Chains A and B, each alone.
Chain A
Amino acid sequence: MFELESQVRKWRGHLRSTGSLGEEELEELESHLRDSVDDLVSRGVTAEEAFLVSVRRMGDTGALSDEFAKVSTESLWRQLLVPAADEPSRRRQRMEVTLVIGLAVLAGLLGKVPALFGWPLGEGSTLVYAKNASLFALPSVAVYLLWKRSLSLRFVLTAAGVFVGAALLVNLYPSYAPHDTAVLMAVHLPIALVLFCGVLYGGPGWKRAGTRLDFVRFAGEVFIYSVLIGLGGGVLVGVSMVTFQFIEVDISTFMFNWVVVCGACALLVVASYLVERKKGRIEAIAPVLARIFTPLFLMVFLSLLVTILSTGRVPSEDRELLLWFDLLLALVLSLTLYTMSARDAEQPRDLWDVMALALVVVALVVDGIALSAIVSRLAEYGTTPNRLAVLGENVLLLVNLLLVAVAYARFIAGRLRYQAIVEVQMRYLPVYVAWAGIIVVLFPPLFGFR
């Protein structure tokens, strides 16, 4: 049975993925396509034929997007900020810009709250800032998403509860030397809160795999935008400090206490806004990076494996070893995630899928070897909060990648749809929130706040 609606949607999605057409242009083209289909149908052609003829008349999508790119490359950035066509959405856009500026200021001021309590940024207060960093930057993002998605009171209250709860917890828990649990908190609270923002990003549909994948995509783009804006900020600070030095005015204290602190806190909400606004206008960069680095990392892991097997050298019992392997697995996981985020679920399997599976499997084997080399020694060392957290993460990542590997293998064998891999991965994400939550909430009391 031919379904016109889904075919039109697919066609539009295909055009959108070329990246050079804005939503308005897509709507115009879709309206044209539908006119053409209707016209042909009224002359007695079947819907399917009418659709095919209309698409062919519309022309090759590649050539079409090239033509559009010629018109719009220069105005790409202007389009990001250009007012929409009709009055209500124009008003909403003006409101959005005002809101984002307000939220950026708010985030910046939140970053100054510790200074208010006698903790200016410096030697003695690093831990205070580290523990609270996500609480400066993320509430603004949360408010922005709540507004953007027009979420219900239930979401607003949940978000308020989560952030206020986290702030109380982080700052009321005592912390004694060597501050292990406090550092763990500082590392894991952002993980939990960022993933919680995924709930706000998704709104009522946050449980759907597709929505979660959208959030993964969004988070990756926000990260890349933040890095780029941060680099720009670094240049700004450097240039202004050097320039002021020439007239023998030292502004470094002001720069660090205000521009760097406030700027860093405001970064995320600004980046979120830009990513939300651009949507399909510019092709996402994170999946491109994943594509470039999947084969390269595969080669690195393969040569590592070959070296281990041929020389018999096993990773020795280094204290940092497990942490290092956690980072490696997380890297492999994010390559997998971003490859996933750019892939059309309907597309048949190809070499990239085999490569993605190979990367996951090799990473698993390497990690397995490392784990077996040190797991026996772990008991000798005794349990410290760091070791337990790191070991827990290793197990979580291992299970995650195992599940993905199995799903990939079944997909390549033709027994599973690609969408099923996405679902396996997306259903697993809350596990990380839970583990990060346990570390933030339960570890400090369990280990005597040390």
Chain B
Amino acid sequence: MNISKELVAASATPIILAILQAADSYGYAIIQKVREVSDDRLTWTDGMLYPVLHRLEEGGLVCSRWETAETGRRRKYYRLTEAGRAELGRLREQWLVVHNALERLAGPTGGGEDHV
């Protein structure tokens, strides 16, 4: 199943914020996590993650710091800020509204029941 570009782009922010809510992380690990939780069906162009991360940082939703791994490789870790946490809550609500609307209209039961 190929997910459309627009949908991938729109879902990137809430997904990144959600991953960072669980724990601080760096770019490569975030990509791996996305692959893992979506069973490889949600794939991003690796590089494109970074402009998104930097935009989130500019907006104050995440903050970053450099850390050196035991291997000596330097990695930039991102952490969710309070503003980011609030934004994640808002985004999640929005996605649920869309999700619920779609389920009611075209879900397996074909409308009627509420799937919250």
Residues of chain A whose beta carbon lies under 8 Å from any beta carbon of chain B:
24-25, 27-29, 31-32, 34-36, 39, 54, 57-60, 63-64, 67-68, 70-72, 75, 85-86
Contacts and interface: CB of A to CB of B under 8 A. Distances in A.
Nearest to B45: A59
B73 A57 contact: no
Contacts of B3: none
Contact of A31 (B51, B58, B75): B75
A32 B47 CA distance: 9
Contacts of B46: 32, 36, 54, 57-59
B98 to A, nearest CB: 25
A28 B29 CA distance: 13
Contact of B47 (A24, A29, A71, A72): A29
A31 B74 CA distance: 7
A-B residue pairs, 3 tightest by C-beta: A59-B45, A67-B51, A35-B28
Interface in B36-53: 45-48, 50-51
A354 B51 CA distance: 39
A62 to B, nearest CB: 11
Interface in B5-41: 26-28, 31
A57 B40 CA distance: 13
A71 B75 contact: no
B74 A27 contact: yes
Contacts of A57: 45-46
Q: Give the interface size bracket for B toward A.
A: 10 to 19
Contact of B48 (A25, A27, A67): A67
Contacts, number: 62
B50 A34 contact: no
B76 A31 contact: yes
B90 to A, nearest CB: 22
Nearest to B54: A71
A29 B53 CA distance: 12
- DSSP majority for the B interface? helix
Given A27-B74, A31-B73, A34-B73, A64 B47 contact: yes
A382 to B, nearest CB: 68
26 contacts: A25-B50, A27-B74, A28-B27, A29-B50, A31-B74, A31-B75, A32-B47, A32-B50, A34-B73, A35-B28, A35-B73, A36-B46, A39-B28, A54-B46, A58-B45, A59-B45, A60-B45, A63-B45, A64-B45, A64-B48, A67-B47, A68-B51, A71-B51, A71-B58, A85-B65, A85-B66
A34 to B, nearest CB: 6
Contacts of B76: 24, 28, 31
B55 interface: yes
B58 to A, nearest CB: 7
Interface string B75-113: 110000000000000000000000000000000000000
A86 B46 CA distance: 26
A421 B76 CA distance: 41
A397 B76 CA distance: 51
A80 to B, nearest CB: 17
A27 B36 CA distance: 25
A191 to B, nearest CB: 43
Point out which of A36, A63, A67 has the most chain B C-beta atoms below 10 A from its C-beta: A67
A54 B31 CA distance: 12
A32 B45 CA distance: 12
Contacts of A36: 28, 46
B24 to A, nearest CB: 15
A59 B45 CA distance: 5
Contacts of B55: 71
